[in-house]
Structure 1
Amino acid sequence: GGWERNFKWRRLLFDNEIGMVVAFLQQLEGFTIRPKLNDQWKWAVEPSGCYSTKSAYKAIHHVTVGDGLDGKLKELWKLRVPWKVAIFAWRLIQDKLPTKVNLKKKRDELQEYLCPFCILVEETAGHLFFHCSKISPLWWESQSWVNMMGVFPYNPDQHFIQHICGASAGLQGKRWQWWWFALTYSIWKHRNNIIFSNAVFHGQKLMEDAVFILWSWLRCLEKNFSLHFNQW
């Protein structure tokens, strides 16, 4: 007899985890257990197997900068969201939206530069869309819909890449990708209503607006989608 692997998971796997498990098992197929040898760590990035800060930096830089953003920006235009929303998303990812901090960089003088939602932190794109204490719970709630958990990157480009890459295959994955556009676009509209129309922050209303936007897109993008909004 020989060694036999028998993995037992603590819970049922989520759809987005199945691909990772398959890849993990495929990696293990190339290894054999040698009971007489001691276990030791190996840094896969370096041929020597030895870790160094320099090699770690290069690996991180390749993943986060490399071809990731350029490739995903190309994907942005293929996702079939309304043109004005795609342009908005492109500006957000490039940090080209007129947030208060971006206006300050252009030497535009405002009375204050605080986030209109929390009124505590200066309004950068990363804070406004993802890390504001009023906004981050909306992202957490939407993650719970697809049984996902994770830490949100601060920069819009990295957040976009993480969201798009984290989508599962098939229809649900495509909807999850569209959701990023619906929610960020609704956040920006809500922000503008507060600044220019003296509205007040209403998280539930913001979320309902984003859900309605996604529903309206699905009616056009999915041939067999016929659910009434109240049923969806």
Structure 2
Amino acid sequence: MEGSVLLLMWSWKKDPTFSELIHLQELIDVVKQVAIKNSADSWSWDGDPRGSFSVAAVRGWLAGRRLSNTELAIEWCKWIPDKCNIFMWRALLDRLPTKTALRRRNINTDNSACVFCDDGEETVDHIFTACGFATGVWEGVLRWCGLPNFFAFSVKDLMELHKSKGISLVKKEFLKGVVMICCWRIWKARNEHIFNNKRCKVVDIVADIKAYGFLWYKNRHKASVSDWNSWCNLFLM
């Protein structure tokens, strides 16, 4: 460094090839963009005009972002455990280890058929919407909620169920959580069938969804229900 001028001296052990000279020129072009100052090193963050890093600045930066793919966005449900929210996020991204997904990663499976109905390949959308077993679970859950049958063709359709017209904000939050619990419980039954050879019945799955929902809603929601009967009739109130 001489004054404000940066001098770079190159010492070659052998004559450079044409390719090496090209790489050298590319390196020089990059180095030219770097301004070296006679001061102590410091960190700065582009997310804040002042260059300072803070939790508030990160929150503002995240709030201002716009996802290019809306399918990647998921509305977090606060009254159910994080494991259910993360599970649904992975399902929307098609990141669950279904048989079809495993085969895409060159992991051998006996077959790619659905473990419940044996009718169609086990994909994320099939196991939660097209499978006859899952359809029976959804019919039981919708009957409990007093809602008509909802025909879904993908996991994204399931996540739109709580946005139906004529439903209050409280009931929307309730229904969003129930949908996530339902998908999580269906996947749990799928794993029990594969790894423990345990066959679950639709009525047992629906009962578990009610029980898990009551436990989590009662202890995690600010307007929790007082007893089992209140929970079972919450959506009908």
Band of TM-score, shorter chain = 0.5 to 0.7
Match of 2:118 in 1: 119
1:69 is aligned to 2:86: no
SS of the residue 2:80 aligns to: coil
1:226 is aligned to 2:223: no
Distance 2:217 2:79 in 1: 11
Match of 2:17 in 1: none
SS of the residue 1:122 aligns to: coil
Distance 1:110 1:146 in 2: 38
Moved over 4 A (4+): 65-68
CA contact (8 A) 1:95 1:156 kept: no
Match of 2:162 in 1: 164
Between Structure 1 and Structure 2, whose CA radius of gyration is higher?
2
CA contact (8 A) 1:215 1:229 kept: no
Give the % identical residues.
23
The 5-angstrom pairing of residues 1-232 of structure 1 reads 69-70=71-72, 72-73=73-74, 75=75, 77-149=76-148, 151-160=150-159, 162-166=160-164, 168-220=167-219, 221-228=221-228, 232=232
Question: 1:91-135: CA deviations, max 9, x gaps?
Answer: 011111000011111111111111111122211111111111111
**Residues 156, 231 of structure 1: alpha-carbon distance in 2 compared, 3 angstrom cutoff:** closer
Distance 2:92 2:157 in 1: 8
Farther-moved stretch of structure 1 (166-175 vs 112-121): 166-175
Q: Which amino acid aligns with 2:155?
A: P
Long gaps (5+) in structure 1: 1-64
Farther-moved stretch of structure 1 (182-191 vs 148-157): 148-157
Long gaps (5+) in structure 2: 1-66, 233-237
Distance 1:172 1:231 in 2: 12
Distance 1:231 1:179 in 2: 12
Displacement of 1:68: 5.0
Distance 1:229 1:106 in 2: 47
